[in-house]
């Protein structure tokens, strides 16, 4: 798709050179019936240069290339209007270039927003990597939770205060729809509970969306933009605050030492399950962890609001763990699914695979 677009821009630029050639009388151009002066010839050359520059910047994926793209479209379209009789069909590639440039602008602005939010979140993290997780520290936890921490390999290793989780996924936006492939990145802070999760989903070669979920200062936000440009979802509110906190709670499985967070209290249910309740900055939520015979977490279940509307129902939200891996000596889930228990049927909407986790200082790399 990128090569095809580059070819369109390149050909469009070369066609503009015909105006320059005719304006300076280098060669007869029969396709252009209207007279072109030398100053206008220079204008056609300038437009061609802008288009060529944009084609190269697009191919090199330069983040500011969209600015040149917008300038090129403006210059080209002004000339096309002035020479409408001969050049009107040039509007078609200009519309294509305009749309792509606007999408690139949206991507740039989205990335800038995420970068600023991530920087703010990370700046609030106070790392204490000199303190290690000990057997004494986990003494008062429920038996199932202690077993998990021991089996995870976290004992004797530094407390995790910051994490960078790289993911790939398949997502369903509605039950029964096709699965869409996605890549995602998440930063999580432990001492000041929070996360920023960004996802890039391709629906087809022309359409996709960028999403950003955020939990900061006890507040949750969800933003989804079609082609990084048009808001599809922009949600905040109490229900989303609680749901984001419950998600954060379930994702403790990637950061075992976070089980000792002062914001989390544990309640034993039996030898293979325990309920965790988290309170932070006025937001509270809970969920239940279930453990297998080897002590590893196999499932997390929470009663979450499905949606952010006033009448949104609470439903069981289930994170089912399918596989484990080891990062920096700590054994954590790497493959999992997320499922809503609906009235009619269960809806598994997410299949997630963790490809890498970096902790503490390495998370900033």
Question: What share of the chain has pLDDT > 90, as a percent?
Answer: 85
Q: Is residue 71 part of a domain?
A: yes
- The parent domain of residue 272 ranges over 130-364
The whole-number average pLDDT for the span 306-313 is 92
pLDDT band at 128 (very low <50, low <70, confident <90, very high): low
pLDDT at 210: 96
Q: Are residues 216 and 317 in the same domain?
A: yes
Q: Are residues 240 and 307 in the same domain?
A: yes
The whole-number average pLDDT for the span 78-85 is 94
pLDDT at 125: 80
The whole-number average pLDDT for the span 67-81 is 97
Query: Exposed, middle or buried: residue 344 (CB in 10 Å: 0-12, 13-18, 19+)?
Result: exposed
Distance CA 101, CA 66 (A): 5
Q: Is residue 120 part of a domain?
A: no
Please state, rounded to an integer, the average pLDDT across all residues of the chain.
94
User: Per the structure, how many domains does the chain have?
Assistant: 2
Distance CA 145, CA 257 (A): 11
Distance CA 273, CA 216 (A): 28
Q: Are residues 147 and 96 in the same domain?
A: no
């Amino acid at each position: 798709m990128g090569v095809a677009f580059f070819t369109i821009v390149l050909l469009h630029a070369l066609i503009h050179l015909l105006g320059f050639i005719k304006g300076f009388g280098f060669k007869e151009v029969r396709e252009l019936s209207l007279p072109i002066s030398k100053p206008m010839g220079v204008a056609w050359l300038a437009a061609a240069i802008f288009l060529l520059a944009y084609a190269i910047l697009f191919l090199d994926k330069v983040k500011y290339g969209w600015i040149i793209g917008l300038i090129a479209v403006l210059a080209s379209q002004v000339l096309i209007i002035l020479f409408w009789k001969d050049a009107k069909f040039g509007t078609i590639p200009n519309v294509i270039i305009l749309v792509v440039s606007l999408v690139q602008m949206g991507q740039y602005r989205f990335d800038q927003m995420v970068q600023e939010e991530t920087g703010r979140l990370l700046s609030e993290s106070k790392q204490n990597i000199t303190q290690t997780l000990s057997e004494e520290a986990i003494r008062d936890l429920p038996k199932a939770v202690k077993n998990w921490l021991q089996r995870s390999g976290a004992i004797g290793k530094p407390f995790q205060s910051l994490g960078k989780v790289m993911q790939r996924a398949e997502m369903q936006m509605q039950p029964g729809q096709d699965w869409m492939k996605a890549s995602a990145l998440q930063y999580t802070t432990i001492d000041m509970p929070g996360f920023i999760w960004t996802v890039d989903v391709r629906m087809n070669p022309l359409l996709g969306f960028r999403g950003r979920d955020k939990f900061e200062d006890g507040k949750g936000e969800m933003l989804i933009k079609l082609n990084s440009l048009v808001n599809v979802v922009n949600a905040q509110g109490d229900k989303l605050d609680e749901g984001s906190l419950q998600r954060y709670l379930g994702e403790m499985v990637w950061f075992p030492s976070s089980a000792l967070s002062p914001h989390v209290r544990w309640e034993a249910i039996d030898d293979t399950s325990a309920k965790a309740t988290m309170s932070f900055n006025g937001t509270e939520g809970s969920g239940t962890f279930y453990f297998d015979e080897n002590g590893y977490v196999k499932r997390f279940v929470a009663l979450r609001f499905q949606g952010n509307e006033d009448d949104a129902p609470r439903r069981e939200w289930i994170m089912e763990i399918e596989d484990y891996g080891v990062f920096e000596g700590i054994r954590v889930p790497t493959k999992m699914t997320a499922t809503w228990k609906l009235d009619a049927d269960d809806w598994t909407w997410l299949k997630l695979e963790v490809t890498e986790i970096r902790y503490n200082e390495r998370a900033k790399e």
